[in-house]
Amino acid sequence: MRGKLFGTDGVRGRANSYPMTAEIALKLGAAAGRYFRTDGQNRHRVVIGKDTRLSGYMLENALTAGLTSTGMNVLLLGPVPTPAVGFLTRSMRADLGIMISASHNPHQDNGIKFFGPDGFKLSDEAQDEIERILAGEIEPVQPQNIGRAKRIDDARGRYVEYAKTTFPVLGGLSGLKVVVDCANGAAYRAAPEVLWELGAEVVPVGVSPDGFNINQECGSTYTQTAAEAVVQHGADMGICLDGDADRVMIIDENGQVADGDQIMALMASRWATNGTLKGSTLVATVMSNLGLERYLQGQGLTLHRTAVGDRYVVEAMRANGWNLGGEQSGHIVMTDYATTGDGLIAGLQFLAAMVDTGKPASALTQSFETVPQKLTNVRYAVGQEPLSADSVKAAIAAGEEKLKANGRLLIRKSGTEPLIRVMGECEDQALLDMVIGDIVTAVEQVV
């Protein structure tokens, strides 16, 4: 086996290339099965969900083969959102939940995410142990102990009914027209169903998956399509999900986009007002805008920052008893309702604010003025270490010195793609552009 399998959000890569091959998926399933089936009994169960990528069939079958070979019983959920897997893992008393998805990535990528019996993503320690087991010889069970696999026909329906219970305002969504962009992904049926059953007039976008068009010119990373639909149909707002529906962007009635920072600001303020924001604290990552931090301070609230990745947000929330967190990219984690980011339920919380206050979306999507922020990604070849180059280190040091009194820099490797992410914030846009440009040039010269 080559290198470390698990990144910041499970195992991810290009389909049919290491590590996203049927062979590795089979071994990974067997290793996970061996990790969770420790008593030799055949009552252990695994739920497996997936998004709409063509490669999902291959990985689903390979994982099932590996899991059943070690005696685990597999329950196949079909296409469901990532948060539905977290919910159903706990609801169906499974020992393990698996989601097959590369989230917002294009169709040629795929990934495997693991959830423990409590519905939360596995810890680093558990993932490391699964990797250790995978690296050795995994002994299969005796023929009489091979696991079974079956399809669960009502998995989506279970999640739909649960999601509806999280909408906190009596009267539902009657009278509201909502665009929902499902990114041709995992929520292509669940999200429109929830909104319609709550009473909204629904304009669905990105609900015709073909195995290849997931996240293609739609969804939370390409909000133009939904924004155009909101304006064209005269909708009250739009909900933009990503391929596995654990992210959301909100579109106001004018087609303007609100990112995760603005959504979290609204929710934190409302929850603090009604006394449900635990510890008066919002958890976000180092990527969240400085304007969010200043806004929360003005509200008498605290912003606790973590490393990038919703797993780290959740870890901080659970360790300290906080119940609201997320990422600028649109992961909104509400542990009162879900064990991971849930774009649909976050969208329902925003709609609840509209119904409760009677205000249009545009009055709720700009809680704070953002500090100018710029993010540029530089792709590098696998095996390269551009951040170790002296020229790049020098450029970063020079940039930090220039922004010292006026902003901040964050340069890091992506945990899901071979990208160097160069991000900075500064009140002076021209200075920010110059600093980011210098660092990006230094990285590009190395790669």
- 148 with 268, same domain: the answer is no
Q: Where residue 417 falls among pLDDT bands split at 50, 70, 90? A: confident
- Look at residue 6 and tell me if it is in a domain: no
- 210 with 70, same domain: the answer is no
- 20 with 83, same domain: the answer is yes
Question: What pLDDT is attached to residue 71?
Answer: 95
- Look at residue 362 and tell me if it is in a domain: yes
**262 against 3, higher pLDDT:** 262
* Rounded Cα gap, residues 419 and 433, in angstroms: 19
- 159 with 296, same domain: the answer is yes
Catalytic sites, residue numbers: 103
pLDDT tens digits for 309-324?
A: 888 999 999 999 999 9
- Look at residue 432 and tell me if it is in a domain: yes
pLDDT tens digits for 97-121?
A: 999 999 999 999 999 999 999 999 9
291-308 average pLDDT score: 96
Question: What pLDDT is attached to residue 171?
Answer: 83
pLDDT tens digits for 378-393?
A: 999 988 999 999 999 9
Question: What pLDDT is attached to residue 163?
Answer: 98
Given 314, 337, 370, the domain boundary residue is 370
- Dihedral sign of CA atoms 36, 42, 47, 52 in order: positive
- 134 with 61, same domain: the answer is yes
- Look at residue 2 and tell me if it is in a domain: no
- 356 with 289, same domain: the answer is yes
- Look at residue 82 and tell me if it is in a domain: yes
Question: What pLDDT is attached to residue 240?
Answer: 98
What is the bridge-based pairing of β-strands 177-181 and 237-241? parallel
- Look at residue 146 and tell me if it is in a domain: yes
Give the DSSP letter string of 48-86.
Answer: EEE-S-THHHHHHHHHHHHHHHTT-EEEEEEE--HHHHH
- 149 with 265, same domain: the answer is no
Question: What pLDDT is attached to residue 231?
Answer: 98
Is residue 128 over pLDDT 70? yes
Question: What pLDDT is attached to residue 108?
Answer: 97
* Rounded Cα gap, residues 185 and 248, in angstroms: 13
Given 97, 126, 153, the domain boundary residue is 153
Residue 379 host element (H or E): strand 373-379
Q: Is 16 within 8 Å of 55 (Cβ atoms)?
A: yes
Question: What pLDDT is attached to residue 147?
Answer: 96
Taking residue 158's Cβ as centre, other Cβ atoms within 10 Å add up to 17
Is residue 398 over pLDDT 90? yes
Share above pLDDT 70 across residues of the chain, in percent, rounded to a whole number: 99
What is the rounded average pLDDT for all residues in the chain?
Answer: 95
pLDDT tens digits for 4-45?
A: 898 878 999 999 999 999 999 999 999 999 999 877 777 899
Domain tally for the chain?
Answer: 3
Most confident option among 215-219, 381-385, 413-417: 215-219
pLDDT tens digits for 156-184?
A: 999 999 999 999 888 899 999 999 999 99
How wide is the angle at C-alpha 184 spanned by C-alphas 181 and 186, nearest 5°?
95
426-442 average pLDDT score: 94
CATH of the domain at 415: 3.30.310.50
pLDDT tens digits for 135-153?
A: 999 989 999 999 999 999 9
Query: Of 443, 284, 258, whose CA–CA distance to 366 is shortest?
Result: 258
- 395 with 426, same domain: the answer is yes
Q: Which long-range contacts (CB under 8 A, 24 or more apart) does 405-410 make?
A: 406/431, 407/290, 407/371, 407/431, 407/432, 408/290, 409/435, 409/439, 410/286, 410/287
pTM for the model: 0.90
Full residue range of the structural domain in which residue 223 is found: 154-370
CATH of the domain at 105: 3.40.120.10
What is the Rg, in whole angstroms, of the alpha carbon atoms belonging to the chain?
A: 22
- 269 with 316, same domain: the answer is yes
Question: What pLDDT is attached to residue 113?
Answer: 96
* Rounded Cα gap, residues 251 and 238, in angstroms: 5
261-284 average pLDDT score: 98
Is residue 195 over pLDDT 90? yes
Given 93, 123, 153, the domain boundary residue is 153
Query: Of 211, 280, 259, 255, whose CA–CA distance to 360 is shortest?
Result: 255
Question: What pLDDT is attached to residue 49?
Answer: 98
Which alpha helices (H) appear in 147-289, and where do they start and end? Answer: 155-165, 190-197, 224-233, 260-273
* Tokens 């301070």 found at: 297
Q: Is 257 within 8 Å of 222 (Cβ atoms)?
A: no
- Look at residue 323 and tell me if it is in a domain: yes
Q: Is 115 within 8 Å of 40 (Cβ atoms)?
A: no
Question: What pLDDT is attached to residue 416?
Answer: 72
- Look at residue 1 and tell me if it is in a domain: no
* Rounded Cα gap, residues 344 and 248, in angstroms: 7
- 287 with 314, same domain: the answer is yes
pLDDT tens digits for 48-60?
A: 999 999 999 999 9
Q: Where are the beta strands (DSSP E) in 143-254?
A: 149-151, 177-181, 201-205, 237-241, 248-251
Question: What pLDDT is attached to residue 170?
Answer: 80
- 300 with 412, same domain: the answer is no
Cβ-Cβ contacts under 8 Å for 29 (sequence gap 6 or more): 62, 63, 64, 65, 66, 67, 69, 70
19 preceded by a cis bond (ω within 30 of 0): yes
Question: What pLDDT is attached to residue 42?
Answer: 74
The DSSP output letter for 143 is: G
Sheet arrangement for strand 11-14: 11-14, 109-115, 96-100, 45-50, 73-79, 149-151
Q: Is 331 within 8 Å of 283 (Cβ atoms)?
A: no
* Tokens 């600028």 found at: 328
Q: Where residue 2 falls among pLDDT bands split at 50, 70, 90? A: low
- 292 with 233, same domain: the answer is yes
Query: Of 284, 279, 386, 401, whose CA–CA distance to 333 is shortest?
Result: 284
Is residue 439 over pLDDT 60? yes
Is residue 249 over pLDDT 90? yes
